[in-house]
Structure 1
Amino acid sequence: MELYFQTKEESNRKQLEDFLKLSKAERFYQFLRLMEKVNQFPMKYKKDSNSNFIIQLKAN
């Protein structure tokens, strides 16, 4: 295992360079993997699987 000490800007630049080295198809698959991982994060509110959106009407 190797440790690298770098600034945030250096780290971001390296990540961008590595990402841009991928083919278009690989970039797309990376995006899909990222979306899958985001769905695994805990959420405060659970989305109702029965509907796409909720309309709430507030009384005056």
Structure 2
Amino acid sequence: MKLIFQTKEESNAKQREAFLKLSGAERLVAFFELSRKINKFPLKVKVDKTIGNFIIEKKK
């Protein structure tokens, strides 16, 4: 494992640069992957799962 000492601003700039190098489709996949990982993150507050799901519909 490699440790890198940097400021938060430097870290954010590197992450932003790496993200912007991705193609549009890769960015979308990365966004959905991050969203999936965030949903698995442990929370102290219990989530009310009685609320309906978010649905994306394509217009014809």
Q: TM over 0.5, yes or no?
A: yes
Match of 2:18 in 1: 18
Runs (5+) with no aligned partner, structure 1 = 53-60
Local SS of the residue matching 1:4:
coil
| TM-aligned CA deviation for residue 19 of structure 1 | 0.4
Structure 1 or 2, whichever has the larger Rg, is: 1
Taking structure 2 as the reference length, what is the TM-score of the superposition? 0.71
The one-letter amino acid paired with 1:24 is G
Runs (5+) with no aligned partner, structure 2 = 53-60
Aligned pair count reads: 51
Distance of 2:38 and 2:23 partners within structure 1: 23
After TM superposition, which residue ranges in structure 1, 4 or more long, deviate above 4 angstroms?
none
| TM-aligned CA deviation for residue 46 of structure 1 | 2.7
Please tell me the root mean square deviation across aligned C-alpha atoms, in Å.
1.5
Percent identical residues? 53
Taking structure 1 as the reference length, what is the TM-score of the superposition? 0.71
